[in-house]
Chains A and B, each alone.
Chain A
Amino acid sequence: MKGDTTPPTSGGRETRPPAVSFEDIEKGFFGVPVLKRVRFSAQAGRITGLVGENGAGKSTLMNLLGGNLQPDSGQLRVNGSPYAPRGSGDARAAGIAFVHQELNLFPNLSIAENLFLTEFPRAAGGLPWIDRRKLRDRARHLLDQVDLAHDPDTPVERLPPGERQLLEIARALGAQAHLLLLDEPTTSLSVRECARLFDLMHRLRTRGIAMVYISHALGDVLNHCDDLVILRDGEVVGRGPAAEFTQERLVSLMVGRELNQLYPVRTPPPVPADSRPREPLLDVRGITQPGRVRDISFRLAPGEILGVAGLMGAGRSELARILFGLDPHASGEIRVEGRPLEGGPRRRIREGLAFLTEDRRHEGLCLEASVADNLALVTLGQHARTPVRWLDLPGIGTAVARIRDALQVSTRVTDAQPVRTLSGGNQQKVVLGKWLLSEPRILILDEPTRGIDVGARFEIYQWIHRLADRGSGILVISSEIEELIGLCDRILVMRQGELSGEFPRGEFNREQILAAALHTSTS
């Protein structure tokens, strides 16, 4: 049912159904709508740019096309026929191919083998041998189309990232894809590699292949796309030929929403950071780790909420991991109240640091363990008495109950329940709770409200304020500029591993922050 698409009628584009169309697609997670009546289409032989802030719903759209998710309502069509994929096999059969940031290549196999892993040409005679010559010829044919001059027998591990990206496209072409979805393909590419990629996209366009290009590099989007679709908060807020847009208009459409979430008011109102007389709580000087971050310096004052804006892959989480002692850094220095910070997470927790990671499920929680055990994990040592570090179980129980009540974790949840069974909001409260119990002086929050409903968000913001009011310094990493503006005293912006901007509270400006975070145009 999914494979049979009506053959495109010859002639003009007008008579031909779009390569893919989204018709009033809706999708929500745990009652939080992620896509709201999304309606747009991409035409064969055109490049459709899809832009929006992180969390606007782009990746959910891709997951719907790939069959990893199913829409709650609405209809997907491919070449005019209804399309309801249940997995990656269906997407392949419908001629849809994905080129992701993280590649799906096998570095231990050759280029040719990666291209034809499931479609090896067989030798004549009924034996299962691969026809090496045919394989090489076909691979070379595909490589020619993407302008890669390598021998097809080269192992993929020898290719630089940019060429691997081209190889992914070649693989899509080999699978006879007529719709190509490129999700941030340029993030790890050099300028020259990007130029090659765009060249290739233009050539594919003339062959009638439809492409959906997702990127934060607005200059590239405007230069290379034919049509644009702008998403904000799961809604299409603008679409049309690329010629009708400018970079400024795109940015204002992307961030254009009003403050639709309430941010708690801070009392007492924060003092501008630079006028604080006290010595900094956290002093970061010239932190550099090749390939991750370069020459990062900033200070965090007691009671300050400092935001870090930037795109995915800008080095924000990498910086946080270095600060918490999870990853090494080649040079630079971190000081807490003048004392150098060393050692792993254990030592740093003792110095008053806390780190809420972006990956709640894999780094924040023990999913199969109970709510109480998760809450108590960080501060267990405080309840342990020597010589055998005997635990004061009633004491732990009291502390857990106190923080649980304070955080208002849903009353339907029992302490013995595995954390896995909780909603995202309650799970995040548990992670926050375990750190609150340690009364941190420096709290690093990496995407603290991702995938969390509005109510729980508000409560998390309130806790951040409360901690700051008590004199803790807080570093908030978020991809939602909105959130940082509502929450922070000062915002740092990172781009490609470096600091690219700093905004004190009085000068918060969404467009400027976004501009500082976006790639400069590569062509």
Chain B
Amino acid sequence: MTRPLPSRWIRRALDQAPVLLVVLVLAGFGRMSDRFLTPDNLTQILLQAAAPVIVATGMTFVLLTAGVDLSVGAVMFVGAAIAGKMALAGYAPTLCLAAMLAVGLAGGGINALLVTRLRLAAFIATLAMLFIGRGLGRWITQTRAMNLPDTFLHWGSANVLGIPGPLWVAGAVVLIAQLILSRTPFGRQVLAFGNHPEAARRAGVRTRPLQAAVYILCGLCAALGGGVALTQLGSVSPRFGEQYEFDAITAAVLGGTSLFGGRGRVFPGTVLGAILLKAIFSGLVILQADPYLYPLITAVIIFVAVLLDSLRTHLLPA
């Protein structure tokens, strides 16, 4: 291109966009209300971000391969429904959560099968799984809310070394994901595959197992995120996990992960993206904005994130 300088600056600004946005949002709401930048509220934001961070971490892996998983919210719901049923039947909470993870594994496995073996487009396969999962979940719960034994809530509000349990789990997931992505052959091959699938295949990467693995990982993360949400809420409503697919994709894309594959990170990108989302909604709550506007605001945020990703991918020279 003839004008390398501006595009380099734009690119640099876009690369730092998540951090800039978080700072802007915190400062903006901080000015508008003195109840926003309090330690209590900030902790609350982090707690609310814990489950989305975990789900979005799995989503990041899928997006890095230029795929997408629209079924994460449904997987959470099915897992929570089964865990809830088991808890009410008197099974130990650990067993319930283990069952939830098994559901995630199964959901991810089916997605992997559909995408890598049967060659369906990821968005259509996982969209169908979204509906199947939600139907299944409502069938299991018979569309009734379930209140879980107190043990769950105790876990959700437990502090270890002064830090709440959900944050420990989210932190661990992010740490492990970051290590997998940056320190294992698998992680580096995921990035290579997302950048250029055909070249990765030619270079000797076993692309099918790799693709399958990201969907399974994403299913697992969805279930784990669902587990954390379950311990925070203490109940399973028929709308459990709804629109988590949006939150997860938005968090990842806001954090700089591309829908076109090959570019993105879990830390700080996706983590900041998820925190950003929750900070915005916390701010809206504090400012007592009309709750019916929330979906509109979410949509605008997603739109801007996807637009920026598209511009960066297509309109800026490499």
**A and B in contact, CB less than 8 Å:** yes
Docked CA distance A107–B262 (Å): 10
A128 touches B184 (CB 8 A): yes
Does chain A have a CB within 8 A of B48?
Answer: no
Chain A residues, Cβ within 8 Å of B192: 106, 108-109, 113, 117
Give the contacting residue for B185; candidates A88, A92, A108, A130; CB below 8 A. Answer: A130
B204 touches A120 (CB 8 A): no
B204 touches A290 (CB 8 A): no
A117 touches B188 (CB 8 A): yes
B191 touches A108 (CB 8 A): yes
Closest Cβ–Cβ distance, residue B316 to chain A (whole Å): 13
B205 touches A108 (CB 8 A): no
How many B residues have CB within 8 A of the partner chain?
Answer: 22
Give the contacting residue for A117; candidates B179, B183, B203; CB below 8 A. Answer: B203
A104 touches B202 (CB 8 A): yes
A132 touches B183 (CB 8 A): yes
Does chain B have a CB within 8 A of A416?
Answer: no
Docked CA distance A120–B185 (Å): 6
Q: Considering the complex, which residues of chain A in the window 104-156 have a beta carbon less than 8 Å from any beta carbon of chain B?
A: 104-109, 113, 117-118, 120, 122, 128-130, 132
A118 touches B205 (CB 8 A): yes
B183 touches A130 (CB 8 A): yes
Chain B residues, Cβ within 8 Å of A290: 2
Does chain B have a CB within 8 A of A507?
Answer: no
Docked CA distance A122–B188 (Å): 13
A106 touches B204 (CB 8 A): no
A129 touches B199 (CB 8 A): no
B183 touches A106 (CB 8 A): no
Does chain B have a CB within 8 A of A8?
Answer: no
Q: Considering the complex, which residues of chain B in the window 119-136 have a beta carbon less than 8 Å from any beta carbon of chain A?
A: none
Does chain B have a CB within 8 A of A157?
Answer: yes
Chain B residues, Cβ within 8 Å of A92: 204
Does chain A have a CB within 8 A of B196?
Answer: yes
Docked CA distance A108–B313 (Å): 13
Closest Cβ–Cβ distance, residue B206 to chain A (whole Å): 9
Does chain B have a CB within 8 A of A28?
Answer: no
Interface digits, B150-191 against A, CB 8 Å rule (1 contact, 0 not)?
000000000000000000000000000001000111101101
Does chain A have a CB within 8 A of B263?
Answer: yes
Q: Considering the complex, which residues of chain B in the window 29-82 have a beta carbon less than 8 Å from any beta carbon of chain A?
A: none
Chain B residues, Cβ within 8 Å of A118: 185, 189, 203-205
A104 touches B199 (CB 8 A): yes
Does chain A have a CB within 8 A of B311?
Answer: no
Closest Cβ–Cβ distance, residue A239 to chain B (whole Å): 30
Given contacts A113-B188, A120-B185, A130-B188, contact A108 B203 (CB under 8 A): no
Does chain A have a CB within 8 A of B318?
Answer: yes
B205 touches A88 (CB 8 A): no
Chain A residues, Cβ within 8 Å of B318: 107, 157
Chain B residues, Cβ within 8 Å of A129: 179, 183-184
Does chain A have a CB within 8 A of B195?
Answer: yes
Does chain B have a CB within 8 A of A259?
Answer: no
Interface digits, A501-513 against B, CB 8 Å rule (1 contact, 0 not)?
0000000000000
Does chain B have a CB within 8 A of A395?
Answer: no
Docked CA distance A384–B183 (Å): 61
Interface digits, A72-93 against B, CB 8 Å rule (1 contact, 0 not)?
0000000000000000110010
Interface digits, A298-342 against B, CB 8 Å rule (1 contact, 0 not)?
000000000000000000000000000000001000000000000
Most buried by A among B2, B195, B204: B204
A108 touches B2 (CB 8 A): no
Docked CA distance A109–B194 (Å): 11
Most buried by B among A106, A109, A128, A290: A106
Docked CA distance A157–B318 (Å): 8
- List 30 contacting pairs A-B, 8 Å CB cutoff, sorted by A: A88-B204, A89-B204, A104-B202, A106-B196, A106-B262, A107-B195, A107-B318, A108-B195, A109-B188, A109-B191, A109-B192, A109-B195, A113-B188, A117-B189, A117-B192, A117-B200, A117-B203, A117-B204, A117-B205, A118-B185, A118-B203, A118-B204, A122-B185, A128-B184, A129-B179, A129-B184, A130-B184, A130-B185, A130-B188, A157-B318
Please name 13 further chain A to chain B contacts, defined as beta carbons within 8 Å, in addition to the given A92-B204, A104-B199, sorted by A numbering: A88-B202, A89-B204, A106-B262, A107-B195, A108-B195, A109-B191, A109-B192, A113-B188, A117-B189, A117-B192, A129-B183, A130-B184, A290-B2
Nearest 4 Cβ contacts at the A-B interface: A120-B185, A118-B204, A106-B192, A104-B199
